[in-house]
């Protein structure tokens, strides 16, 4: 059964949805970006229904300033209290649960990395964590890792090579992209990737990272994942990739892949 509820957070009221089930391990879904709790393409609502039918309760909510929740939307880095209060509300609404696994996609995954230790959460499932910060020069090119991947695919294509030779490619854009792809950016300790690395290294709960193999956000994270700063996390977290470019795992095969892994973690 699915029912609506709400809970307080910093003097505001947050709307939530509980898919009830008898299992003692529950799934807390944190929506990414400015998405309401149903998720992109209703993906989170569908995932909740499937997980609930498999016997695990699922709790979703709108953070402050999003959807049916009151307050100001100040972005994912302001959501520490939202996550903590949501986890507490989940335990209140489903008092039989003994374990909470938190799930987040994109910047919700990054928020969980940064703030999970402040909440009663027992494990993390992180899909396509957000590591991309605004460029100082306002350049809106994709992440360097995505550019490298794109040009590698193009160089494998005879058709694309012909376009290059016959003037069908914007040379200025090509040079700009290659320049960005070739520069290895140093990460100051205050950068988002550096803070994510520090938080993952300190994590005291099991961490599973699931990446959409050809998604730009996932490619950027995978590029950072190879850096020395993430070495401690690489020794403890589990990382798996899905052969898709869908950031929200929207295609039927992608949904099935994601659901299978979520249920497996909940069942442990």
- At residue 103's C-alpha, the angle toward residues 101 and 109, to 5°, is 130
Q: What is the mean pLDDT of residues 120-135?
A: 92
Whether 14 and 85 have beta carbons less than 8 Å apart is answered as: yes
What is the edge-to-edge ordering of all strands in the sheet holding 123-127? 2-9, 12-19, 58-61, 25-30, 99-105, 123-127, 207-212, 238-242
Q: pLDDT digits over 42-71, tens only?
A: 999 999 999 999 999 999 999 999 999 999
**Residue 151: its pLDDT value, please?**
47
Q: How far apart are CA 192 and CA 188, in angstroms?
A: 9
More confident residue, 106 or 159: 106
Domain ranges of the chain: 2-133+191-266, 144-182
DSSP symbols for the chain: -EEEEEEEETTEEEEEEEE--S-SEEEEEE--TT--TT-GGGHHHHHHHHHHHTT--EEEEPPTTSTT--S----GGG-HHHHHHHHHHHHHHSTT--EEEEEEETHHHHHHHHHGGGS---EEEEES-------TT---PPPHHHHHHHHHHHHT-HHHHHHHHTT-S-HHHHHHHHHHHH------TTSHHHHHHHHHHH--S-EEEEEETT-HHHHHHHHHHTSGGGHHHHTTSEEEEES---TT--SHHHHHHHHHHHHHHHT-
More confident residue, 165 or 29: 29
pLDDT confidence bin for 135, thresholds 50/70/90: low
Task: Report the 10 Å Cβ neighbour count for 159.
Answer: 8
Both tokens of 197, joined, read 């690395």
Q: What is the mean pLDDT of residues 30-35?
A: 94
pLDDT confidence bin for 204, thresholds 50/70/90: very high
What's the CATH class of domain 2-133+191-266? alpha beta
Q: pLDDT digits over 72-95, tens only?
A: 999 999 999 999 999 999 999 999
Q: How far apart are CA 60 and CA 105, in angstroms?
A: 13
**Residue 142: its pLDDT value, please?**
56
Whether 214 and 184 have beta carbons less than 8 Å apart is answered as: no
**Residue 23: pLDDT over 60:** yes
Model confidence, pTM: 0.83
pLDDT confidence bin for 133, thresholds 50/70/90: confident
* Residue 179 C-beta-side C-alpha neighbours within 13 Å: 8
Task: Report the 10 Å Cβ neighbour count for 89.
Answer: 21
Q: How far apart are CA 195 and CA 68, in angstroms?
A: 31
């Amino acid at each position: 059964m699915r029912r609506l509820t709400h809970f307080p957070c910093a003097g505001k009221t947050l709307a939530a949805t509980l898919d009830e089930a008898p299992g003692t391990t529950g799934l807390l879904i944190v929506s990414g970006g400015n998405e309401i709790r149903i998720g992109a393409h209703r993906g989170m609502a569908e995932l909740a229904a499937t997980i609930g039918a498999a016997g695990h309760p699922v709790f979703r909510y709108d953070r402050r300033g999003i959807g049916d929740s009151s307050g100001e939307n100040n972005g994912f880095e302001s959501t520490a209290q939202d996550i903590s209060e949501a986890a507490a509300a989940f335990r209140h609404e489903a008092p039989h649960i003994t374990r909470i696994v938190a799930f987040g996609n994109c910047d919700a995954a990054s928020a969980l990395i940064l703030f999970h230790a402040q909440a009663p959460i027992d494990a993390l499932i992180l899909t396509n964590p957000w590591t991309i910060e605004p460029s100082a020069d306002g350049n809106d090119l994709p992440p360097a890792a995505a550019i490298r991947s794109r040009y590698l695919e193009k160089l494998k294509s005879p058709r694309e090579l012909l376009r290059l030779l016959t003037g069908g490619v914007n040379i200025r854009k090509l040079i700009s992209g290659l320049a960005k792809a070739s520069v290895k950016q140093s990460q100051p300790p205050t950068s988002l990737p550096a803070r994510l690395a520090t938080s993952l290294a300190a994590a005291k709960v099991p961490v599973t990272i699931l990446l959409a193999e050809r998604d730009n956000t996932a490619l950027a994270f995978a590029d950072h994942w190879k850096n020395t700063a993430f070495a401690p996390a690489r020794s403890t977290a589990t990382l798996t990739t899905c052969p898709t470019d869908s950031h929200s795992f929207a295609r039927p095969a992608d949904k099935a892949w994601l659901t299978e892994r979520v249920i497996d973690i909940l069942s442990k």
